[in-house]
Amino acid sequence: MDLKLKNKVFIVTGGAKGIGEAITLELAAEGAIPVVVGRSVAAGEAIEKKIKAAGGQCLNIIAELGEAEVCQRVVEETVATLGRIDGVVNNAGVNDGAGLEEGDPARFRQSVMTNLMHYYDMVHYALPQLKEHKGSVVNVSSKTAVTGQGGTSGYAASKGAQLALTREWAVELAPYDVRVNAVIPAEVMTPLYETWLNTFENREEKLKNIVSNIPLGKRMTEAEEIAAMTVFLLSERSAHTTGQWLFVDGGYVHFDRSVT
Ligand code: NAP
């Protein structure tokens, strides 16, 4: 299937590591130009080098996305350098454990600031471009938005809000033919997931238990499988799909417990 993404420009926040890295590489493989936004200079340079070595194009922008002005700068730099924006993948996030009992109001606020605000800011500033090019937005949320996890109020609240905004923006932007969808991972081995897993003393046992509860194949979802869905949603091949929450999780969230 030709996704018709050649030379189209897509911003991918957190695009140098984990799920974001897989999305960036898939976009480049399709001939699109990913704009990798992240705070790690080494990771950004590494992915840029990899894409360019394979003959692709990529723009690497180092940014900590906490402030609205930073998102505005990312959008402006993208347009100044590449001349257009065809889509935004809001992906950067941190499961930072700002819980109810163990957390406090300041940590909760900080977590929402880190995980949620830039999803809005990025699309707000990119909107004129998205309207001009009938663009597509993909919000990467988390199963915690619908299942809970415990001990991570700020992250779960942000992930839930991302799903609400997906539907809200899909409605608001439908008149412009701009589509907005969410992709919901559950268990994907990434640097973020490794960090979370390492908080358990019985790490291997915990992982074994999680994997044994994933119905399809008793295995983790691959980052490339999240990327494939995301890139499809960015392409015009999904032209009549909007406001959807796509669970790419091997049946983890929805299957009857008796199945596992
Ligand atoms: P990851 O391995 O940590 O990669 C995320 C990237 O985003 C990192 O490079 C990180 O930078 C960057 N980032 C985070 N916050 C940022 C900020 N404020 N400004 C700039 N860069 C920022 O995470 P991942 O597992 O791929 O997760 C990607 C998305 O999937 C997240 O939204 C997460 O909630 C969601 N998700 C993942 C899983 C899973 O199983 N992995 C499950 C459900 C949902 P640093 O390296 O500097 O931290």
pLDDT profile of the chain (260 residues), mean per 10? 97 98 98 97 97 98 96 98 98 96 98 98 98 98 97 98 99 98 98 92 95 96 98 98 98 86
**Is residue 145 domain-shared with residue 90, that is, in the same domain?**
yes
Whole-number Å distance, alpha carbon 100 to ligand 1 midpoint, is 22
Report yes or no on 107 lying in a domain. yes
Report yes or no on 121 lying in a domain. yes
The residue among 192, 186, 180, 187 whose CA lies nearest residue 89 is 180
What is the best residue among 163, 190, 229, 247 to mutate for testing ligand 1's pocket, by most ligand atoms within 8 Å of CB?
Answer: 190
Report yes or no on 101 lying in a domain. yes
Boundaries of domain holding 213: 187-220
Burial (CB < 10 A; 0-12, 13-18, 19+), residue 256, is exposed
Greatest pairwise CA separation for the chain in angstroms: 54
**Is residue 77 domain-shared with residue 202, that is, in the same domain?**
no
Backbone angles phi, psi at 17, to 5 degrees: -140, 160
Residue 260, pLDDT score? 61
Burial (CB < 10 A; 0-12, 13-18, 19+), residue 133, is middle
**Is residue 111 domain-shared with residue 212, that is, in the same domain?**
no
Write out residues with Cβ below 6 Å of ligand 1.
Answer: 14, 16-20, 38-40, 43, 63-66, 91-94, 114, 140, 142-143, 185-188, 190-193
Report yes or no on 2 lying in a domain. no
Can you tell me which atom of ligand 1 is nearest the CA of 189?
41
Report yes or no on 152 lying in a domain. yes
**Is residue 42 domain-shared with residue 107, that is, in the same domain?**
yes
Active site residues: 155
**Is residue 197 domain-shared with residue 82, that is, in the same domain?**
no
**Is residue 139 domain-shared with residue 20, that is, in the same domain?**
yes
Give the span between the Cα atoms of 92 and 47, in whole angstroms. Answer: 16
pTM for the full model? 0.98
> Residue type at 136?
S
Report yes or no on 4 lying in a domain. no
CATH number of the domain within which 164 lies: 3.40.50.720
What is the best residue among 192, 197, 247 to mutate for testing ligand 1's pocket, by most ligand atoms within 8 Å of CB?
Answer: 192
Q: E strands within 105-173?
A: 136-140
**Beta carbons of 230 and 168 less than 8 angstroms apart:** no
**Is residue 17 domain-shared with residue 114, that is, in the same domain?**
yes
Report yes or no on 250 lying in a domain. no
Q: How many domains does the chain have?
A: 2
**Is residue 211 domain-shared with residue 114, that is, in the same domain?**
no
* Number of other residues whose CB lies within 10 A of the CB of residue 42: 8
What's the angle, vertex CA 108, arms to CA 197 and CA 164, rounded to 5?
Answer: 85
Residue 145, pLDDT score? 98
**Is residue 129 domain-shared with residue 204, that is, in the same domain?**
no
**Beta carbons of 117 and 68 less than 8 angstroms apart:** yes
Report yes or no on 3 lying in a domain. no
**Is residue 171 domain-shared with residue 191, that is, in the same domain?**
no
Give the closest residue (by CA) to ligand 1 atom 7: 14
Can you tell me which atom of ligand 1 is nearest the CA of 193?
41
Terminus-to-terminus CA distance in the chain, angstroms?
33
**Is residue 182 domain-shared with residue 192, that is, in the same domain?**
no
**Is residue 145 domain-shared with residue 207, that is, in the same domain?**
no
Residue 257, pLDDT score? 83
